[in-house]
Amino acid sequence: IIFDDVSFSYPTRLKFPALKGFNLNIDAGETIALVGPSGAGKSTVFNMLLRFYQPQSGSIYIDGIAIENLSKDYLRSLFALVPQEPVIFGMTAMDNIRFSRPNATDEEVRTAAKAADADGFISDLPQGYESFVGERGIMLSGGEKQRIAIARAILRDSPILLLDEATSSLDSISEKAVQRAFEEISKTKTTIVV
């Protein structure tokens, strides 16, 4: 992944660049962290990679190809995102994980859940993987929701993993479990952590 002299301002804040002459080179399989105060442009890097916005100047490349030359569907298939606030749907635990790859088998979903350190709490639910987790995952704790989101990212099996402050609102026990899951998944991915 290469950011080559990228500058960008959000449409509502044109006088205040979110990125100005930004350069970054990430090798395949590397894990990097973007660190800085609020407003420093960390999440903007994710928005630019996913082509939610186009740079006003400069270019972004993946595997030597400018991302504007890739279809958005293909480009976004390269990424798995674990956001700070994961989206949990009013469906079963199994279906929430399978959402990232609808044709996955039950065994593939369970394998992803184990890798995300989620199998234990899912198995303890009243109907296990077939338990309804409630709208927005109301039946789950914050750490459990995060581990569902990580399992979803593992199941997606995209080459690039984006972790957007994914542990910032967790208690220390949940954070340790989530951290172990991140370490496992990032072994075979290019990973960017905010």
What per-residue confidence (pLDDT) applies to 32? 92
Pair of tokens at residue 92: 């079963």
pLDDT single digits (tens) 157-190: 899 999 887 666 566 776 776 677 777 777 788 9
Rounded CA-CA distance 65/36 in Å is: 28
Q: Closest by alpha carbon to 147, among 117, 126, 169, 173?
A: 117
Averaged pLDDT, 145-155: 89
Averaged pLDDT, 102-109: 96
Q: Which residues pair with 7 in a beta bridge?
A: 57
pTM of the complete model: 0.81
- Between β-strands 31-33 and 160-163, what pairing exists: parallel, antiparallel or unpaired? unpaired
8 A C-beta contact, residue 60 and residue 48: yes
Rounded CA-CA distance 173/117 in Å is: 12
pLDDT single digits (tens) 23-55: 999 999 899 999 988 878 888 999 999 999 999
Split at pLDDT 50, 70, 90, the class of 103 is very high
Q: Closest by alpha carbon to 19, among 33, 30, 34?
A: 34
- Between β-strands 79-82 and 160-163, what pairing exists: parallel, antiparallel or unpaired? parallel
